[in-house]
Structure 1
Amino acid sequence: MPSDVHDSLDHLSRARVAVLGDVMLDRYWFGRVERISPEAPVPVVQVGREEERPGGAANVALNIAALGAHCRLRAPVGRDSAGGSLAALLQKAGVETSFLLLDQLPTTVKLRVIGHQQQLLRLDFEERPDDEAVRDLLQAGEDFFAGTAALLLSDYGKGAVQSPQTWIRLAREHQIPVLIDPKGRDYERYSGATLITPNKSEFQAVVGGWRSEEEFRVLGERWRKTWQLEALLVTRGEEGMTLFLADGIHHHPAQAREVFDVTGAGDTVIATIATAVAAGWPLDRAVELGNRAAGIVVGKLGAATVSREELAAASDGTNG
């Protein structure tokens, strides 16, 4: 790979990204399965190792930090041990946290039971914050944007991104691009954003299906204009990614050699794109880098991150 591309990857460390969204703590119990329970036809997992990782918007922030960039994260969490674990994990990774601590709201926790590298069960512990509590997130104001070159809204539908238009307007006033990982079927609420990144199934749920690649491209461009977006990126799994811009449509084939776990892949994609945009990359090149990152991260277990070194190796043809 040419040295100037390596230099461009090094420039990612200069990026400053602000993230707002729904955070969660991912817990993993790893063990072995050697018998079926006599109480019910279910496997008995002998747990031998436990692990905790930041999830949701927290995983997005972790991915930004893994690229060497500065990340400021704002999110509601419970005043509990899970929230404390999240803060400690993020601070250890170099993420600047600005949590809204809620006494009546438990931090969202997703517990996965893994036996012989196979996920056997997931348990979710979560409650949606009320509107009044989340409105306090908007008090971040101009301080939240200080020194920021991109704003990323990570919407997992848990309540943190209840007023995306407020954030889009604030960011636009500061001439900051807004990138959004959307949720639900009302994409009008993201109108005016720089980029939204639905996956194929999410996009189909909003606009309906298509019978051909040409029909898909017509739908993508139509809805990009309807939602007044600078860009729309549809991530399509093994079919790659398609970016709709005012100056044309850019398709990026999938780069994964082997898919082990797609958990958190969307977080890695939008985190990488936002970091590149904050570093001054044009959107089409930023999406190309995000596609490269996706090809790496799906080969890892659970919500994971990608480093600049891995991206450089992938660009040299030694990975993904």
Structure 2
Amino acid sequence: MLNDSVIDRILAHLPRCTIGVLGDLFLDRYLDIDSHLNEPSLETGLTAYQVVRIRSYAGAAGTVINNLAALGTGRILPISFIGDDGEGYELRQALARWANVDGRHILITAERRTPTYTKPMLDGRELNRLDIKNRTPTPPLLEEKLCEKLQECWHEADAWLVLDQVSEADCGVVTGRVRELLAQLASQDPTKFVLADSRERIGLFRHVSLKPNERECRRACGAGQETPIEHCVEQLVRSGGRTVFCTQGEAGILLGEEQEGRVRLQRVAAYPVTGPIDPVGAGDSCSAGIVSAVLAGGNRAAAAAFGNLIASITIQQIGVTGTATPQQVRQRWQIVK
């Protein structure tokens, strides 16, 4: 599936590509705590943790953007919204680190908060996370602006990645209305590669390729653990109409494609990793790898393999949602090929 020339072709082609990213932007904020500096609170008697460093990164769709940028994508075109708040300012700063991210189509609104995952890290160990999310429906006017942006930018991008991160229905960027427009545009432009990832609603996407994990795949099909995952992938292929990349961690990717009226399933192995791992963001880095390989002319199996290769790099980066540079990709490939 992969060889030296395929790897070189993918990495050489990416700087000529424009990739659109439609979805929920979160701020990932890490609070590094030094336990040696703990103080008792005079008011409550509880331990007051002392934060010695704050690290802020673009998360959710931002993790996809970070990975595309690190791989050397020529231009990245995000469509999203964030709040007119301090977290939104931090998020814009995080995205501004990448010269190849075109942030003109990120809407800033006082009607929403910037979704934020705050992760206290006590001596490198993550404590209970603190979440800020929007739990009311996205205002119709904001939906309309998102749809306008998607229509405006559709033909500018060579491919699209879609990330539906918010669990609550219609409370994020990819609402039912936005998803319907996406299906319409994708059906009218079937040669454009579109890859959708959704925590709760992967089965509602049409005319695009899908990247669920095993839990999301089963949920979309209403299947329990006793149902073979192969049956669920086949069902998603038939209902969604395009390729399904079902990620299964160390088992790799179960790839489903319709060919001549039949669904063909293929197992694409993961690459072995030793030592401690941090799987946070692995799926997003895999998505970035998949779309990068497809744009370079790779078949879907090669794209799945390249996605697995990128994920095998990022999961070894502990305490942060990792990325992979072209140099890291080449080094990792020399180890696992």
TM-score (norm 2): 0.85
Counterpart of 1:19?
21
Q: Alignment partner for residue 100 of structure 1, among 102, 107, 116?
A: 107
**Distance of 2:131 and 2:232 partners within structure 1:** 35
Partner of 1:197: 211
For residue 111 of structure 1, report the CA deviation from its aligned partner: 0.8
Report which stretch shifted further, 43-52 or 107-116. Answer: 43-52
Aligned pairs for 1:170-181 within 5 A = 170-174=185-189, 175-181=191-197
- C-alpha separation between the residues in 1 aligned to 2:333 and 2:266? 19
Cα deviation per residue 1:67-88 (whole Å; 9 max; x = unaligned)?
A: 1112100101111222222222
Greater CA deviation, 277-286 or 151-160?
Answer: 277-286
- Structure 2 matches for 1:77-92, cutoff 5 A? 77-92=82-97
> 3-state SS of the aligned residue for 1:89?
helix
Alignment of 1:31-180 (within 5 A): 31-34=33-36, 45-69=49-73, 70-94=75-99, 95-97=101-103, 98-128=105-135, 130-132=138-140, 133-157=142-166, 158-162=171-175, 163-174=178-189, 175-180=191-196
The match for 1:316 is 334
Deviation at 1:30, TM superposition (A): 0.7
Identity over the aligned pairs, expressed in percent?
Answer: 25
User: What runs of 5+ residues in structure 2 fail to find an aligned partner?
Assistant: none
Check if 1:254 corresponds to 2:277.
Answer: no
Which residues of structure 1 form unaligned runs of 5+? none
Report the alpha carbon displacement of residue 276 of structure 1 after superposing the two structures with TM: 2.2
CA distance in 1, matches of 2:37, 2:218: 41
How far has the Cα of 1:283 moved from its partner? 1.8
1:153-183 deviation digits (Å, cap 9, x = unpaired):
1110251001212112223424422110112
- 1-side partners of 2:235 and 2:129: how far apart? 38
The count of residues paired between Structure 1 and Structure 2 equals: 314
CA contact (8 A) 2:38 2:50 kept: no
Aligned CA distance change for structure 1 residues 4 and 104 (closer, same or farther; 3 Å): closer
What's the CA shift for 1:121? 2.3
Match of 2:256 among 241, 244, 247: 244
Partner secondary structure for residue 161 of structure 1? coil
Which stretch shows the higher mean deviation, 90-99 or 278-287? 278-287
Closer, same or farther in 2 for the Cα pair 1:173/1:223, shift >3 Å? closer
SS in 2 for 1:191: coil
* Matched-pair contact (CA < 8 Å) for 2:32–2:51: yes
**1:286 Cα deviation (Å)?**
1.1
Q: Would the alpha carbon gap of residues 259 and 253 (structure 1) be closer, same or farther in structure 2, given more than 3 Å must change?
A: farther
Residue 6 of structure 1 and its aligned partner are, at CA, apart by 2.1
Q: SS in structure 2 opposite 1:146? A: helix
Q: CA RMSD in A?
A: 2.4
Bigger drift between 152-161 and 162-171 goes to: 162-171
1:184-205 C-alpha deviation (Å, 9 max, x unpaired): 1x44420221x11111222233
Q: Which moved more, 1:305-314 or 1:126-135?
A: 126-135
Relative to structure 1, is the Cα distance of residues 121 and 148 closer, same or farther in structure 2, using a 3 angstrom cutoff? same
Q: Report the CA distance between 1:270 and its aligned residue.
A: 0.9
Q: Provide the rounded CA distance (Å) in 2 between the counterparts of 1:42 and 1:311.
A: 46
Shift of 1:52: 0.4
> Separation in 1 of the partners of 2:321 and 2:6?
30
| SS of 2:34 mapped into structure 1 | strand
Alignment check: 8 A CA contact 2:83 2:109 kept: yes
Q: Secondary structure at the match of 1:263?
A: coil
Maintained 8 Å contact 1:272/1:289: yes
